[in-house]
Amino acid sequence: MRTIQEIQKQLIDDFSLLENGNEKFDYLIDLGQSMPELDTKQKSEANLVKGCQSSVWFSIRCKEDKLFIEADSDSLIVKGIAAVLVQLFSGQKANEILATDIGFIEQIGLWRQLSSQRGNGLTAMLTHIRASAEACSEQKSASKLNKVLFLCTGNSCRSQMAEAIINASHSDKWQAFSAGTHPAGYVHPKAIAALQEIGIVHQGLSKSTNEFLGTEFDLVVTVCDSANEECPLWLGKGKRAHYSFPDPALTDDMQAFRNVRDAIALEIPTLLKAFEEKETL
């Protein structure tokens, strides 16, 4: 497949053969007419580009860090402009789209020929595509993270603190989740307070392991003995590890929550580092 730079050069060459604005508009209309219409279902509010005078829709899929774009408009000239962007960006990697200098649009004369309203519409289309590329790039980054699930019985204290600490301090390599074999239905206020003391704002929910049916984790860590004994077999696809942290809710003493928080912050990162280095857990 041709690169964005190669396609830009071809577009510049094609438009350079057109002598005036009328020929450029006729060419845009031809491009618009040659582009297939979007299915009615794809002409949705979610696909509608905000900021265009005419209605223009972009149906954009992210697959393997690439954007695949289809477009349509109720204006042939606007549809032609969209066709130029589809030709340029569809099938290209998200990070390459984000790095593209769109100065070539000035070189082919579009900015000069368009009315201010259509110029704003072109800017809105480019912004829409860029936002999709950013989301696609973030999706790829997230997919590269190791996923760890922390389990305890109630998912109200220990596993919640482990989830929050790892997401706050190791989000460059790990995406943490938590659940309970018998969820309490709430997160203990003192666990939240203990996290706030070290600058972590956590808004977790007490969840059942059943909510993660079908989710594959690289690592499952049980942080209490009962959860270790009751850990569902279907969570065993990734590696397993067990740490027995005392339940601070049994004493309901704030210092007990701090002690467990500090133990988790000390021991769990060591475990994750060992996993990263493929050491035996």
Q: CATH number for the domain including 10?
A: 3.90.1010.10
pLDDT bracket for residue 92 (50, 70, 90): very high
pLDDT in tens, 166-190: 999 998 889 999 999 899 999 999 9
Whether 54 and 105 map to the same domain: the answer is: yes
pLDDT of residue 234: 61
pLDDT of residue 30: 93
The residue that leads in pLDDT, 100 or 79, is 79
pLDDT bracket for residue 239 (50, 70, 90): confident
> Among 87, 110, 142, where does a domain finish?
142
Residue 160 has pLDDT above 80, yes or no: yes
pLDDT bracket for residue 235 (50, 70, 90): low
The residue that leads in pLDDT, 264 or 118, is 264
Whether 262 and 212 map to the same domain: the answer is: yes
pLDDT in tens, 38-77: 999 999 998 999 888 789 999 999 987 899 999 999 989 8
Which spans in the chain are helix H? Answer: 4-16, 21-34, 76-89, 94-98, 104-107, 110-113, 116-143, 158-169, 189-197, 225-230, 254-276
User: Catalytic residue numbers?
Assistant: 152, 224, 231
pLDDT of residue 143: 60
| Separation CA 210–CA 180 (nearest Å) | 9
pLDDT bracket for residue 91 (50, 70, 90): very high
Whether 201 and 189 map to the same domain: the answer is: yes
Residue 233 has pLDDT above 70, yes or no: no
pLDDT bracket for residue 17 (50, 70, 90): confident
pLDDT of residue 216: 84
Domains in the chain, number: 2
Based on DSSP, count helices (H) and strands (E) in the chain, helices before strands. Answer: 11, 6
Whether 124 and 32 map to the same domain: the answer is: yes
Residue 280 has pLDDT above 50, yes or no: no
pLDDT in tens, 198-228: 999 888 889 988 888 878 889 999 998 877 7
Estimate to the nearest angstrom the gap between the alpha carbon of 168 and the chain centroid: 17
Cβ(268)–Cβ(144) below 8 Å = no
pLDDT of residue 210: 85
The residue that leads in pLDDT, 21 or 147, is 147
* Contact partners, residue 1, CB within 8 Å, separation at least 6: 91
Exposure b/e, 55-79, CB count within 10 A at least 16 = b: ebbbbbebeebbbebbbbbebbbbb
pLDDT in tens, 102-159: 777 777 776 667 777 777 888 889 999 999 999 888 776 566 689 999 999 999 999 9
183 — alpha (psi -120 to 50), left (phi > 0) or beta? beta
> Among 92, 126, 142, where does a domain finish?
142
Whether 138 and 157 map to the same domain: the answer is: no
Considering the entire predicted model, what is its pTM? Answer: 0.54
Residue 160 belongs to a domain with what CATH number?
Answer: 3.40.50.2300
pLDDT of residue 281: 46
Domain range for 244 is 145-276
Cβ(179)–Cβ(155) below 8 Å = yes
* Contact partners, residue 243, CB within 8 Å, separation at least 6: 221, 222, 223, 267, 268, 271
Cβ(107)–Cβ(5) below 8 Å = no
Would residue 211 count as lying in a domain? yes
Cβ(222)–Cβ(242) below 8 Å = yes
- The owner of tokens 């480019």 is 126
Amino acid code (one letter) for 193? A
Would residue 281 count as lying in a domain? no
